[in-house]
Structure 1
Amino acid sequence: MTSDQGSRRLSLYVTGDHECAYLPDRTARTVFVDPNFPLKNGHYSALIRQGMRRSGRYIYHPGCPSCNACQSLRVPAREFQPRRRQRRCWRLNGDLRSTVRSAGFHREHFDLYRHYLSTRHPGGGMDAHDEAGYTDFLICPWAETRFVEFRLDGRLLAVTVIDLVADGFSAVYTFFDPVETRRGLGSYAILWQIDAARRYGLDYVYLGYWIAECDKMRYKADYRPCEVYRSGAWERLAPPGTPSAHGEPSDSHT
């Protein structure tokens, strides 16, 4: 990729082998963009369209030589057809008020984030985040990031963090009050993003990496129709039980 600053090219680096965070029987490698490159949101938008993802100020994609289980997934917002349980989730949370805020540290958000991690992901590493770690994970200077609050009668129930890219939203992270499990707030946050993308005339919601073999990453394909990035192009993910474009069975998650 050539930047808009003359002929300077964006460099990619590859890590050594490390333990896979999602498939414990495998090792992984990560390809990441030179963190010293003077990125702008336009670069980021182009890289998102090439299947990459942001974590803090790092943009990356899996680079495992013998595995392609992690595939970037996006939802065409205007074509989305909610399933019955998604329609139910939308109705159930119709009493919530959403507010979009600019990126920044907010103590109320941080307290909810720590509570969410200590309850839902204890010992996962992120639960040790202090204020600086939290900010470094969710915000970077060149991304157009927004924090969307969901409140019930003034009480903060959930926050979803999104990046604004040229053709849609990129979902960064969502955290919520673990007491409100019945509401399905993680699902509602995705549905809200799809609905907002439609209202603003945007094409896609990028949901990050989908892994059909991993229980906690399989859910992303529930938002249909959806597309995955394979061999340098986006292709429609076939419905469960039908052959894919490669002649292989599609994911079996329902």
Structure 2
Amino acid sequence: MTSSTPRVCVAFDGEAFRGDAEALAAILGLPLATGPDDAPLHLTVSAAGLSLSLTGPDTPGPVRVDFISGRLGYRQARISPRGESLARAVGLRGNERPSVVDATAGLGRDAFVLASLGCRVTLVEREPVIAALLEDGLARAAGQPGLADAVARMHLVQGNARDYLSALDETARPDVVYMDPMYPHRDKSALVKKEMRVFRALAGDDADAPEILAAALRVARRRVVVKRPARAEPLGGRRPGHRIPGKTTRFDVYVKG
């Protein structure tokens, strides 16, 4: 990719979606796609909503935010605070539902689980293209009777989480700040699941995650929760108060005094 090659182009699946694609390209400041090889990533407008995909041979399928069907839809129908390690990590107990800032929203899966359990969740996503995917997924889910209440408890902010947290005044401080940062994968030959392959091509790793953690610890009223690989070192070398372990991931919990 040369310096003049755009990182992302906006594509459309049929002329019926050209107008929507042009409008989205203008909002994001991205060019329209003219062919399959004009950018490493295509953000595509179609009847199924927005999707993001790598171009070229041997690439994974498209990534989209889908709260309605698939794995997340199945999970949402069976969510119980007792059965969710995430719920225990953020401190759900009885009828208490803390306010949460998800500082690394990504595809919004954990935020949606917390909103389905009754929490009000602010999703902060720095990458405008990923934020566009989230906005599209939330809009589609809002039209589903079984999901509308959860979506109404979710508020999307596009911006840098460190700056967002640092700018909060006393009245806006959340009970909990949740983080699930991307981390450098050490095994170069391992097949990273498609979402991570696409996200890394778009935004790289979250190199400033320790700084976001520091801001979160200053702002959160009750606790900060960081999702980590099961065997990874704690983020930024900060030891948590306790951990909730799992087979492949764990939750590091920093309880405020």
| Fold-level similarity (TM above 0.5) | no
- Shorter-chain TM range is under 0.3
Higher fraction of helix: 2
Higher fraction of strand: 1
User: Could you say which structure has the greater relative contact order, defined with CA pairs below 8 angstroms and 6 or more residues apart?
Assistant: 1
